[in-house]
Homo-oligomer: A and B are copies of this chain.
Amino acid sequence: MPSIRDVASRAQVAVSTASAALNGTRPVAEATRQRVRQAAAELGYRPNLLARGLQSKRTRILALLFPAPHSGFGLTEMRFATAAAEAAGELGYHLLLSPETGDPIEELRHLTGLGLVDGVVLMEVSLDDARVEFLLEAGVPFSMIGRTREPGPIDHADIDFAATAGDAVAHLAGLGHRKLAFFNLSTGTYAAQYGPAIRAGEEFAAAARAAGLAYVDDYRPGSAEEGGQAFERLIEAHPDVTALAVMDDHAAVGVIAAVARRGWRIPRDLTLMLVLSSARVAEMFHPRLTTMEPPSAELGRLGARMLIDRLRGDVPPQGRLMPCRLVPGDSSGPPRDSTARKETGGMGS
C-alpha cells in the first residue's frame, strides 16, 4: 500500500502539504492540490477514511437537514444544498443530504446518534426552532442557513431583510410610487413562524414607513387563485395602490391574470415585483418580473464554511446577513394616475 509519504514524494511537496491537500485540514493552492490528487490517483493511494475517522472521532461528513420546502419552487433550497456541498468539498468535507420526512427531533436524534456526522447544517429555520434546542442540549456542532428569533452565539448565514426591503422600497419610491402593497407568504407559513415570512413582513413595513409611503400588507395569498382574489380585494379597498411586491410565485401568477382581466397592463397600470424569487423564476413570467433575488449560493457556502470553521477550532460565533439583489425586469415603471387607469378597464391589452 502506498503511503502519504509516497504521494508527497511523487507530487514533490512536503508530507504535511500532501496531507492538507487530501484532507482539507488547511488551505492549499489549487495547482498543488491538483498535483497531489493526481499523484495519489496514480499511486492508487487510499487514505482509509474510516480508520482515520475512528482514530480522530471525526468523519468529515456534515449533514444538511433538508425539509419539504415551505413554499415556492424549491430552486432556492437546491442552490443552498449544492453550494453547501461544493464549499464542503473544497474544504475536504462531504455533505450528507438528510431529508426530514417525519418527526424532525426523532430524526435528528437518530442521525446524530449514528456517529456518522461531525455536525449539522439546518435549513428552513423557524423563529422558535425545536431542532436548535435539541442540538444545543446534545452538544452537536451546527450552523443555520436562516436564523431563530435570537440566534445569539449560534453560527448563521441569513438574508438581510432590512437591506432587502430598503432596496426594494427605494426602487419603487424612485419610480414615483406613493402607495405600495405587500403580499406575504401564505397564512399557514406565516403562522408557522417561518423566519423569512415574519422578517420580510416586518422589514417591508418599516422600510415603507421610513420612506414616507402609504402601505398595505393585509394579504397572504398562497396560490394563484388566492393571489387573484387578494388582488381584487386590494384594488377594491385601495384603488390608489400602484405598486405590489409579492413573496409567493404562484400568487403572482394569479395577480397577473387578474390584472389582465381588468384590461390593465403591467407596468403601465401596476408595477409588480417578486421578493425572494430567483431571476430564473422571474424570467418565466410575461412580462419578465422585477425580483429581489436571494443570495442562495452564498448562503449555502457560508452555512457549510461556518460549521467547518467551528469544527476546526475555537473560533468566535459568526453571523452573516446578506441582502437580496435587485434584478430589474419589465414589470417596473412609473405610476399612472389611478383615474386614468380606471378608464382603460375592459379595453384589452
Contacts and interface: CB of A to CB of B under 8 A. Distances in A.
A114 B47 contact: yes
A97 B96 contact: yes
A82 B75 CA distance: 13
A115 B285 contact: no
A64 B97 contact: yes
Nearest to A82: B99
Interface string A262-274: 0000000000000
A284 interface: yes
Given A49-B116, A66-B85, A286-B256, A37 B110 contact: yes
A115 B46 contact: yes
A189 interface: no
Contacts of A285: 253, 284
A348 interface: yes
The number of chain A residues touching the other chain, given as a range, is 35 or more
A249 B25 CA distance: 43
Contact of A78 (B77, B85, B116, B224): B77
Interface string A102-120: 0000100110011110000
Most chain B beta-carbon contacts within 10 A, residue among A59, A98, A115, A284: A284
A99 B78 contact: no
A41 B106 contact: yes
A256 B89 CA distance: 41
Contacts of A275: none
B41 A113 contact: yes
A339 interface: no
Contacts of A48: 115
Contact of A97 (B40, B47, B95, B283): B95
A75 B78 CA distance: 8
16 contacts: A46-B113, A47-B113, A50-B53, A50-B54, A61-B96, A75-B75, A75-B78, A86-B101, A89-B98, A95-B97, A97-B97, A250-B283, A253-B284, A253-B286, A284-B284, A348-B348
Interface of A: 37, 40-41, 44-51, 53-54, 59, 61, 64, 66, 73-75, 77-78, 81-82, 85-86, 89, 94-99, 101, 106, 109-110, 113-116, 224, 249-250, 253, 256-257, 260, 280-281, 283-286, 288, 348-349
Give 8 nearest A-B pairs by CB, closest first: A78-B78, A97-B97, A85-B97, A348-B348, A85-B99, A49-B114, A50-B54, A50-B53
